[in-house]
Amino acid sequence: MRTATTFAVAVFALGATLTAQWGPSQPAAPPSPRSEALLFYDLFNQQTLLFGGNWTDDFWSLTNNTWTQLTTTVKPPARRRGAIGVNTFNGEAILYGGQDSGGTGGNGTRDDTWIWNGITWQNMQPAVSPGGLMWHAMAYDDTRDVTVAYGGRRNIWNNNEYLGETWEYNRSLNQWTNMGPLNTPGQMLRPAMCYHPVLQQIILFGGELDTGLGSDATWTYDGIDWTQTNQTGTKPPPRMGAQMLANYNGNVVVLFGGRDPVTFNILNDTWEHDGVQWREVSNVYGGIYPPRTDFAMAHDLVNDRLISFGGKIANNGLRNDTWEYGAHWQPFGLGCAGSAGTPTFTPGALPRLGQTATADIGNVPPSIPFAFMAVGLSRTQWALGNLPALLTGIGMPGCRSYTSADLLVYVPATAGVATWSWNVPSQAIFLGEPFYLQGITFDPGINTMGLAVSPAATLVVGN
């Protein structure tokens, strides 16, 4: 009898490689393709929210793997190139600035402060504000309960304008303050910035400097001054327009993508910073495809995953696909009917380093006390050729194999449900590794082989 532990040992012997934890998701009814939108997580309602992009005022919710356009009586005007900071613990989002659609005249940047409180948008109209910004960075400081904005441009018609101002928004006072620290990361556009859960400070990376060059410096901000950190080992190359967010479960921040300010090449690499140093966690197969810039990214706190939406690819085409970073489950394929119906396949605990992953095979014939889990390292090839493979020729008409079935795991069943479990190793070498699973039920008389199969799924190991 093969066990999940046996599977872990076998995979380790096969030499799993360290890859980034990105995988495509396929939620229903996505928004139209767009770039430079804003994405954030609403903890109060446990949903991922999308606003704007492409000079629209669209407002969307991603819940239960479905996109739904929301209708609100009040919402911010259309824009792109804005920024948002999210209160991690209550999901309240502070939106400021962006480029308007040309209808307001002037410098073309918006000078409005909006808050999403989980129920409605509110235009805060503070007495003092940064004066309109686009291509700035924003992040909510969990420790000090303020939102920090840095850099950007006020006048979209002035290509020589690069700002180096640090502003803070105090929600309780409804007040913006120009902090004027002694040291700054420099005058720049489009840096990546977020709160670091280990350092308990704001961290900033990259950006396009006023020299036209890109920065590869890492800075932290404690509310008084900016400090450039001394990075040991490798670090990300210069970039602008990247996204960086905290992964609280892993106690790291994740930096992804962006564009080289000099060559304008789109970057497709993923990096994590643990409070001391950077570590690249992607290889040539580990990013988002096709590579893109000007995408939106948010942290789903409940499911502990990063979500990316849309963006612009190398030919300037726009995308509306959704990707996930972290432990995740991606169903695919179709099952074939057994005597109790088509076997179902549903996720339980997601695969995380050092924890136990589970999945249920349903519609097991009630009189049968077991099922099998086919676990494979490939969904394109197996010993008999290409996948998926129609199994009619071996006496299973209408059934398909979707995994390479490198191991067959015996799974006990009770009351028509078989629960598979796997104690995920704690070694970092498994991080980002995909596995392909498909349930098999024993069903005498249903066909020549007496077997039926469930749909399949890809599991990606996260931390």
- For 306-344, write each residue's pLDDT tens digit: 999 999 999 999 999 999 888 888 788 999 999 999 999
Tokens of 262: 């000099």
Amino acid at 315: N
Positions in the chain whose pLDDT score sits under 70: 1-20, 102-106, 282-286
Edge-first strand listing for the sheet containing 243-247: 243-247, 252-256, 270-273, 278-280
Q: What is the pLDDT of residue 60?
A: 98
Long-range (24+ apart) CB contacts under 8 A made by 272-275 are: 272/247, 273/196, 273/203, 273/205, 273/218, 274/198, 275/196, 275/198, 275/199, 275/251
Would you state the pLDDT for residue 15? Answer: 41
Whole-number Å distance between alpha carbons of 431 and 385: 28
From CA 457, how far away is CA 418, in angstroms rounded? 16
Nearest to 159 by CA among 103, 210, 221, 227: 210
Cis omega (within 30 of 0) on the bond before 434?
Answer: no
- 397, 338 in Cβ contact below 8 A? no
CB of 84 closer than 8 Å to CB of 41: no
Separation of alpha carbons 48 and 307, rounded Å = 8
pLDDT at res. 8: 44
Whole-number pLDDT of residue 19 = 55
Closest CA to 221 of 147, 171, 315: 147
How many other β-carbons are positioned within 10 Å of the β-carbon of residue 65? 11
Query: Please, what are the domains in the chain?
Result: 22-325 (2.120.10.80), 329-460 (2.60.40)
CB 322 within 8 A of CB 343: no
Q: Specify the pLDDT at position 282.
A: 61
Query: For the segment 361-391, what is each residue's pLDDT rounded down to a tens digit?
Result: 999 999 999 999 999 999 999 999 999 999 9
DSSP-based three-state secondary structure for 430: helix
Tell whether pTM > 0.85: no
